[in-house]
Chains A and B, each alone.
Chain A
Amino acid sequence: EDQVTQSPEALRLQEGESSSLNCSYTVSGLRGLFWYRQDPGKGPEFLFTLYSAGEEKEKERLKATLTKKESFLHITAPKPEDSATYLCAVQLFLNDYKLSFGAGTTVTVRA
Chain B
Amino acid sequence: SQTIHQWPATLVQPVGSPLSLECTVEGTSNPNLYWYRQAAGRGLQLLFYSIGIDQISSEVPQNLSASRPQDRQFILSSKKLLLSDSGFYLCAWSVGQGSAAFFGQGTRLTVV
**B-binding residues in A (CB < 8 A):** 4, 31-32, 34, 36, 41-46, 49, 51, 87, 89, 91, 96-104
How many contacting A-B pairs (Cβ < 8 A)?
A: 57
A64 CB, nearest partner CB in chain B, Å: 13
Number of contacting residues on B, CB 8 A? 27
B110 CB, nearest partner CB in chain A, Å: 13
CB pair A96 B43 closer than 8 Å: no
Partner of A103, one of B42, B99, B104: B42
CB pair A99 B46 closer than 8 Å: yes
CB pair A104 B43 closer than 8 Å: yes
Distance in angstroms between the alpha carbons of A89 and B92 in the assembled complex: 14
Q: Give the residues in chain A near B108, CB-CB below 8 Å.
A: 41
Closest residue of B by beta carbon distance from A44: B103
A28 CB, nearest partner CB in chain B, Å: 16
Other than A31-B98, A99-B100, give 20 A-B pairs with Cβ distance below 8 A.
Answer: A34-B100, A34-B101, A36-B103, A41-B106, A43-B105, A43-B106, A44-B44, A44-B90, A49-B99, A87-B43, A87-B44, A96-B97, A97-B49, A97-B97, A98-B49, A98-B59, A99-B101, A101-B43, A103-B43, A104-B43
Q: Give the residues in chain B near A104, CB-CB below 8 Å.
A: 43
- What are 27 pairs between A and B in contact, CB < 8 Å? A4-B43, A31-B98, A32-B98, A34-B101, A36-B103, A42-B106, A43-B6, A43-B92, A43-B103, A43-B104, A44-B103, A45-B103, A46-B101, A46-B103, A49-B99, A49-B100, A96-B98, A97-B51, A97-B97, A99-B46, A99-B100, A100-B46, A101-B43, A101-B44, A103-B41, A103-B42, A104-B43
